[in-house]
Chains A and B, each alone.
Chain A
Amino acid sequence: MTGITENIWQAKTVAQRAAEALPESVWFALGYMVLGVVGVAAFIAVLGMGLIYAERKIAGHFQCRLGPMRVGWHGIFQTVADTLKLLLKEDVVPAQADKFLHILAPLFTLLGTILVLAVLPMSPIVHVSDVNIGVVYVGAVSGFGVLGILLGGWSSNNKWSLLGAMRAGAQIISYEISATLALLVVVLFSGTLRLSEIVESQAAGWWIWRAHGVGIVAFLLFFIASLAEINRTPFDIPEGESELTAGFHTEYSGMRFAFFFLAEFINMFIVAALTATLFLGGWMPFHIGDFAGFNAIMDMIPPGLWFTGKTAFLVFLIMWFRWTFPRLRVDQLMRLEWKVLLPIGFANLIAAAVVVLFNFYFFPVR
């Protein structure tokens, strides 16, 4: 019993805690499991609302207006009110739609995001489960999202939805290649697939700058490809409001629309968090090699804050893009992937292999 309370500040995942508590008490183990699940679910709800509020405020200020101002102080409860409205609205399923798939699709999309959140190391203690093939797992599970989008678009029995779904399918699958190539660069650097170890491997400096340009190219590739994977502007052609009305979720309303919407925002967070984890050190403070004094000062800021700060910055960047850029065209989008990003990705991977082979980092640690 005391062991559990003492352990609370030790760097462990919730899954590990559950495993350790199991011999002592089944109830504690179960408690940890419930904590993990409920934690992720609550996190998604709160984070979704927070991000939507942030997006609306940021968009407002970009556009010389204030954004939501009425519900609560500076409109802080606006998204709560919106969520309630969406939950209470009638859930319309078109008569000609494939009902089962139509209802299932938003759940698939949301499932993909939940499963990724479970393995994200947000700080040494806030980490639900540390999978030993974390990177591969993330790549595989985030593919669920496209399944939901394809199903949703197809089952709606609407030509605009179908067009949106087909666009999404082509786009997400194409860009997954570039994202994975960029991800492999970090795997090469850190020599592990485990996300927590990738974070720890950056104790001497983040991968974005430690690898003589290879890191930053991989970072840009990953960020651009991930933006395309989550359908954010300038790659938001599956929704393409002015082209396809709303793309794959044209026929969704009420709560099911809210699921798609929520998944989109959580995906944005996931991309930012993953980019931060892989290239910006995750919860690792800003360290420079063996400058112990400097590193000690940086260590005074708690890891949770580092993670939040980096992620928030990247989220802001994504929102900034959205409120500035026009949208690409379908064929231009494909050209960008197959003719530009993919060759760069391969070249970069080879360059990374050379860097790793000769241990040619700033501050090599091994």
Chain B
Amino acid sequence: MDSANLLTAVAAAEPNAKPREKADRAAVQVPVGNLSALMKRLRNDSTFAFDMLCDHTAVDWSEQGTFELVYQLYSTVHGHYLMVTTSVPRVSPIVPTVREFWRIAEFQEREVYDMFGVLYDGHPDLRRLFLEDDWKGFPLRKDYTDDFMLERPE
């Protein structure tokens, strides 16, 4: 499916999903409550058949006070891409895990937890991935500081 058809199909499958603006490929935005259901549909429905979770990461929109969680999906059956995003408040970032749909999510989610402190509901083994277990803070948050940080040029 090309990206326009894909977006229509996703919108039909999940009415709460809205197209995400300013993306270079088919992208939808869903409320966090609908994420699990949509992902299940995307994984198992043969019209979508997204059998590969290419990438999962987060973006810290500190001014809006949200984390945007980004899932890059790819289907080897149909050869189409879809970017799924969802936003969670920075103060209580809890998202359902998608580990049961893609095995790799377990580890990608651990990385996001490690770097952003996003908590995954139902994750079997949520612990730091790169940093030590007793590390303080979450380095990729915009407000993270330590003594060795560089300033961002304006």
- The answer to whether A and B touch directly, with their CB atoms under 8 angstroms apart, is no
